[in-house]
Structure 1
Amino acid sequence: MAPKTASSDGLGGGMGSPESFATLQLEDKKPVQFANHLRAVFPQWAGPDIVQNLLDIDGICEFPDRWHYDELREHSGDEFDNSEVDQDDEDDEGRRDGPDTNVRIPSGIYWREKIRFSAKAIRFPKRIPDLEFLAFVERTYGRRFIPGHWNAGMVGMLHAYTMDNVHGISAYLSREQLRANGRRLLNTTIQDLASFFASAWRNTPPSMPIPDRGELYASYEPQLQQLHEGLPVRFLAMLKRLLKQLPELFAEDWPLVPNTDLLENNIHVNPKTGSITGICDWKDAAVGPFGTSIKGLECLLGERTMKGWRWLPNQMNLRGQFWQAFYAAMGSRTTELKQRVDTARLVGIFPDAWSSLDGC
């Protein structure tokens, strides 16, 4: 695929896309032109060296948070906030309504999400996406939940990939809507999430390559053993049980499926209905025992605070609705199945969230 021609206006309009213009400047090693392009695109950028800030390898994960293009800026008017995003979102006093959502959200966070999922966004991933594996992910969970990923060819010497736009807004940004009116919309989100998780039970393609079960078990067991030795005594009985039951998750009759860490920012919903519109950020997805990714449910049932994890008032009712929808979607709810699913869920939770649990 031949490189696109950059436009004469220096902003990637006309025949050349913003992506091609920027990447051609990088390829041709034109730092001054590239810096001028960035300053034109980010008129409110703070800091003396915009290129260094963007391309510093230590900050490359922030790259998608700092790109936007003309189409986005034209629709933003004077409200576009391109200052550094305050990660302490709950303390951010600058809030705005998302368009057509009536959701009050921090302005910096709103534009970060807008940039991140704009059709005009560009990202520099740390590695080439495994499109073959992502195709198995799409078949497992369905295109309702998983955006398509495509090879867009080459721009000069750079590989280009595209991802379908994920509509809606993140569950994090729609907390206020989802939790209003007795968390009625959140219940819809949670039931959709149950269908999402359950679909892997039946739909994971048999042709999907899987790791050796013994080797995979050997990567899980030391983590639980370390937690058993280091966590407060109140967790020891549960961890002892998990260590005893862990081999069941790697038996031949238990599916190995594509799993990813689900966070509120990766679950996109329609803020008017609560329905999930898509789940994104599969770059770190890996094959693991069915059920371990159900830990993602927890992020919708509570939130981290300075004093530890705080559950929603009706989290037990919401959790019950989840399990009812989950087993209905699976078509089975035997005692043995429920026990193994619960083991998988806890095995998923402990390695990543034990510090949060310790604050409960």
Structure 2
Amino acid sequence: MTTTYAVLSEGLEKRYGDVHALRGLDLAVAEGSVCGVLGPNGAGKSTAVRVLTTLTAPDAGSARVAGHDVVREAAAVRGAIGVTGQDASVDGELTGRQNLRLFAKLLRLRGAAARGRADELLERFELTGAADRPARTYSGGMRRRLDLAASLLTRPRVLFLDEPTTGLDPHSRNQIWAAIRDLAGLGTTVLLTTQYLEEADQLADDIVLIDRGRAAHRGTPAELKSLIGSYAEVVVADDSALVPAAGVLDRLTGTEPALDHEHRTVGAVAADTTLTLPRIVRELDAAGVPLVDASLRPPTLDEVFLRLTGRGDVRTTPNPTPGPTPKEAAA
């Protein structure tokens, strides 16, 4: 079965003076999927969104969104996408309902169609009760939901969300997550940049890890976790046992352990797939380390992020099922 790509870029380059924001960025996002774009601050995530949404032109490379070239067919791209940026774009002096109706008019929806779509989205995002209050009286989560509703007025084929839940409380974040799942279920392609690793783990079908303006790693959450092996963690009975426990884990895993004195834990990536929890316990016991607890588990996406971006010491293995490069996708 041939995969259709809603977002396809190759070799995107972008400079801002001396800052090289994008250094040959390649992306291939399947139609109808949720793609999580992760990376440390300054990695190029927001610049990539600006290029793909036609807000800025690339210095080199090419990109197509919803089948249209982002430079030569910018108007067609804009007609096919929705965008929610890092800062809410709603007018605080207008009510929630007025904001949506204004955006609807700007998008050339008229009369009953504009009013009906605005009311539908207010209900969907649980804003009906506050619909006739000025948006400046909304909480941060309510303003964010209103902003997302505005980006959905025309039912876009591709939705770009640039860190949509930053600063929201857990309840508001869960509401945004539910909306994103619903959109994906209806066939909308979602490209999501986020600093919340749990968010990507919860929502993304595929993840692209951007570092220094390039796509450093790509794959499903499970595939990325497999890059760094299991994670061994032990809780010791007292502080004096932390260093001996670290020595045992260093020898067994071959990676430098991380010590947490506050919680009396020692953890290390275990790239050796043959390492077992009973062996860890036996070795610690033989070394006279008083244990409270021990575990050997898959890594969290947070741990993957820290290590694959060079923020930790880890030995990686090749991705067993890498995602397609744009050249492969276009073939």
TM-score range, shorter chain: under 0.3
Structure (1/2) with the larger helix percentage: 1
Using CA pairs below 8 Å that are at least 6 residues apart, which structure has the higher relative contact order?
Answer: 2
Structure (1/2) with the larger strand percentage: 2
* TM-score, normalization by structure 1: 0.22
